[in-house]
Structure 1
Amino acid sequence: MPTPTPAASPDPRRNIPRMDELLQLPEVAAARECLAEHTIRAIIQDTVSQARRGGVPISELPAAIAQRLGEKNSHSLRPVINATGVIIHTNLGRAPLPSAAVEALHDAASYTDVEMDLESGKRSKNRGAGATAALLAACPGAEDALVVNNGASALLLATAALAPGKEVIISRGELIEIGAGFRLPELIESTATRLKEVGATNRTHVADYERALGDNTGAILKVHPSNFRIEGFTSAVGVDELHRLAARHGTRLIVDLGSGLLTHDPALPEEPDIHAQLRAGADIVIASGDKLLGGPQAGILLGTKDAISAVKKHPLARAVRIDKLRLNALEAAISTPSNAVQDALHLDHENHRARTEAIAEAVGAHVVAHDGRVGGGGAPEYPLPGFAVSLPEHFADALRRQEPSVVSRVHQGRCLVDIRCVPAHQDAAVIAAIKAVG
């Protein structure tokens, strides 16, 4: 008589509860207070899939779901402590907003009078009037202003509006590429506008522009090199000379500064400012709101009434329109007496040293001289003398994984913690993070 085949052991995956049962867990009911139903279902389904693969013991499935729901936020961006010494750090969101701008974001988050005249109850055409007024008060050389989504859209709009179907003359030394492979020429030529390159990479003269001007010229464009510097045998044409040339030939002059410095700052002696470019004769000056200006992401156009009027009327102006939250935040950032960017740029040298030494003493490390940077394309390579706590290189990775994350700089085999951009009330958090690693 043949030996009977033993019965196959039951598959433990059959014990996984059904979705409708898991949706009745008390932790799921609590999670519905802050998470959408589709988010909850996705977390449960993913955890169940892990259990089917053996990654989560089936007996621990409810606890695993509860843990993941408890750790899940409705948003994914995490605040970090910027200990790199770079003020406008693009990877960390550029300029941190001043408290007045944060409050302005909150106030604009619900219904607002963004396009309504509350006196008459009718639709208003003064969208962004507050931000415009703040910009004009801070930069009296401008006759009018417009705020759009970001710096790239401001440049796209200006060239499309002032040189529709025509040529924009630009020096070859200003055909730049910035972060993430973004190339200025490709942006401009994505519309019907065409670029006409003049001069050489290192030297461009006024005669080069003169020869390029013709009936098909729509504008002259001058671009601040932003994130690189050409040294040695070089020459470039200033805004004042280009203005005189443009005026003689009846064309417009656009200046793209990028960095957003409204007026001259002695701390950055070589960084061009918007007011000076307007005074020198630019029809439109373009800048970003989230760099040296210290506000939210925005593309700012300041210039003559005639030039700004042409930009406002262009169909692209609607496509690149900025939202109500950032309009309010930009107005507040301009109107407040101080912001984090200016504080970090003008920090007290001795106070910086004392705070750094206190942190170093608390964690058993030493202090080294360290030059900070503006970042974000502002004042490229210009040093901002200061100090840093020097730690072993492996600390950088571990600090970045802390909560809150502390992002430092790795240089010459050392982890450097520079608190130039760290508010004083966060010094204790930096010390705690370093101690946790060490």
Structure 2
Amino acid sequence: MTVAPAGARTLAVPGDIPALDRLLNDAAFAALLAAYGRTEVTAALRGALDALRARVVDGGVPIAQAGTPAIAADVTAALDARHRRALRRVFNLSGTVLHTNLGRATLPQAAIDALVDAAAAPVNLEFDLGSGARGDRDRVVEALLCELTGAEAATVVNNNAAAVLLVLAALANRRDVIVSRGELVEIGGSFRIPDVMRTAGARLREVGTTNRTHAADYADAIGSRTAALMKVHTSNYVVSGFTASVGAAALAAIAHASGLPLIVDLGSGSLVDLGDFGLPREPVVRDVLAEGADLVTFSGDKLLGGPQAGLVVGRAALVQRIKRHPLKRALRVGKLTLAALEPVLALYRAPERLAARLPTLRALTRAAAAIEAQALRLAPALRDVLGERCEVAVVAMESQIGSGALPTATLASHGFAIRMQRRGGGLDRLDAALRALPRAVVGRIADRTLWLDLRCLDESDEAAFVAQLARLSP
């Protein structure tokens, strides 16, 4: 059969497809070979050629798509997708500042620099440079934690759930821990206080009722099998109305009268009074210890604004028992967590500068007027890209703090309310297109509207945000 000259055809035939070896030696593939190596490029090229041959046999492939430039573009796209990191930067426009699914706190530059430094070389993680002997990794941050909280000692594990688990396993295995029914919390990921206690080997002794617990309830429940009293901060919900609870100071007096420790789980935890920054107040770790708590557990990656970690501070004798428990090794943190945590804690030595230096606090304290001005600056670029298919309005919003902190508190904010001009006109597709951008834009859909809250869009990121909008399909 005679094949017509290529110039006389619009569709490709199998003979138009270049051979694999020829393509590997073509200049169009030189950069790919340098970037990815011959093994990966060969595998990707072989897959692209097999797919192309199948399409050509089925018919309908323009002849240009069988040429070297088109094949090189397909292989480039395949290799780029294969090497795209699973963990990618996003723009958090969800309206939740400490978003668990988006990694919670953003680290300050000092912590990022420390992370890079620790990752790039050996460090004295468990090595005492003075004596030349083995050291304790907790010492990287223990002195800072004690300075900032007034505690005698401290230890660090990988999150607050682990901190609670370790404390109970070390101090209350096969013994009773007294907790108010109104404090048997569940947080995200099905973390429940009763389940954690059971896993730690401690026996839960519930006292009081859901809405009211009194000092006598705790005192009457103490027996020979009691290991500790425990108070859990209900950081992700509020019980209001006819309520009663017992504060840490009164609980400490009850516990100490029977020779028992008081454990307080603060959840988010705060090292400073957030009221000083115009935010609703959360319990401050130093204050809880001063009220008589023997151990306090809290998170490093929520209100503290650092990396994911669970922090335990309190009496030295109890902390030493916790550190000697076998679970401590299983739950301990690595050098990168400690490297990031140390400079974050150091920022708290100058609380008057925190709002400028700690990204979490900076986002929480942004003025609504500044966010509105930012929205007005960016709105024309978004309207130009979306065109007539969408209505883009600058509107007032209410941001959430998130991660169980201050559950009823909201922050006045501004952002974009995007509605399709025709009902059923593809709001979900627009949301998906925003998430498919090189730096995904994460908003939320409610009431047939796509909401983009700008509280967490730092002004230094505005140019990058606008630049990639051009990739949205018209």
TM-score (norm 2): 0.80
Given candidates 393, 398, 420, the residue that maps to 1:366 is 393
Q: Determine whether 1:346 maps to 2:391.
A: no
Q: Determine whether 1:77 maps to 2:112.
A: no
Letter in 2 for 1:68: A
SS state of the match for residue 451, structure 2?
Answer: strand
Which residues in structure 2 correspond to 1:406-417 (within 5 Å)? 406-417=441-452
How far apart are 1:374 and its partner, in Å? Answer: 0.9
Given candidates 314, 328, 353, the residue that maps to 1:317 is 328
Is the contact made by 2:97 and 2:104 (CA closer than 8 Å) also made in structure 1?
yes
Given candidates 263, 271, 278, the residue that maps to 2:272 is 263
CA distance in 2, matches of 1:238, 1:169: 14
SS state of the match for residue 151, structure 2?
Answer: coil
SS state of the match for residue 341, structure 2?
Answer: helix
- Seen in structure 2, the aligned counterparts of structure 1 residues 184 and 54 have a Cα distance that, compared at 3 Å, is farther
Is the contact made by 1:359 and 1:389 (CA closer than 8 Å) also made in structure 2?
no
Q: Determine whether 1:97 maps to 2:124.
A: no
Q: Determine whether 1:142 maps to 2:151.
A: yes
CA distance in 1, matches of 2:471, 2:36: 34
Given candidates 323, 326, 330, the residue that maps to 2:341 is 330
Partner of 1:8: none
Letter in 2 for 1:347: R
Is the contact made by 1:373 and 1:383 (CA closer than 8 Å) also made in structure 2?
yes
Given candidates 170, 182, 189, the residue that maps to 2:179 is 170
- Identify the structure with the greater helix proportion: 2
Partner of 1:426: 461
Is the contact made by 1:27 and 1:66 (CA closer than 8 Å) also made in structure 2?
no
Which residues in structure 2 correspond to 1:12-411 (within 5 Å)? 29-32=33-36, 64-73=74-83, 75-109=85-119, 110-120=121-131, 122-139=132-149, 141-266=150-275, 267-336=278-347, 337=354, 338-364=357-383, 365-392=392-419, 394=427, 395-411=430-446
SS state of the match for residue 374, structure 1?
Answer: strand
Identity %: 39
Letter in 2 for 1:300: L
Letter in 1 for 2:106: P
CA distance in 1, matches of 2:173, 2:318: 13
Q: State the superposition RMSD in angstroms.
A: 3.2
SS state of the match for residue 381, structure 1?
Answer: strand
- Seen in structure 2, the aligned counterparts of structure 1 residues 163 and 49 have a Cα distance that, compared at 3 Å, is farther
Is the contact made by 1:340 and 1:421 (CA closer than 8 Å) also made in structure 2?
no
CA distance in 1, matches of 2:43, 2:208: 57
Letter in 2 for 1:256: D
SS state of the match for residue 108, structure 1?
Answer: helix
How far apart are 1:152 and its partner, in Å? Answer: 1.0
How far apart are 1:427 and its partner, in Å? Answer: 1.9
Letter in 2 for 1:243: A
How far apart are 1:124 and its partner, in Å? Answer: 2.9
CA distance in 2, matches of 1:111, 1:158: 31
Structure 2 spans left out of the alignment, 5+ residues:
1-13, 348-353, 384-391, 421-426
Is the contact made by 1:268 and 1:379 (CA closer than 8 Å) also made in structure 2?
no
Q: How many pairs were matched up?
A: 421
CA distance in 2, matches of 1:264, 1:142: 17
Letter in 1 for 2:360: V
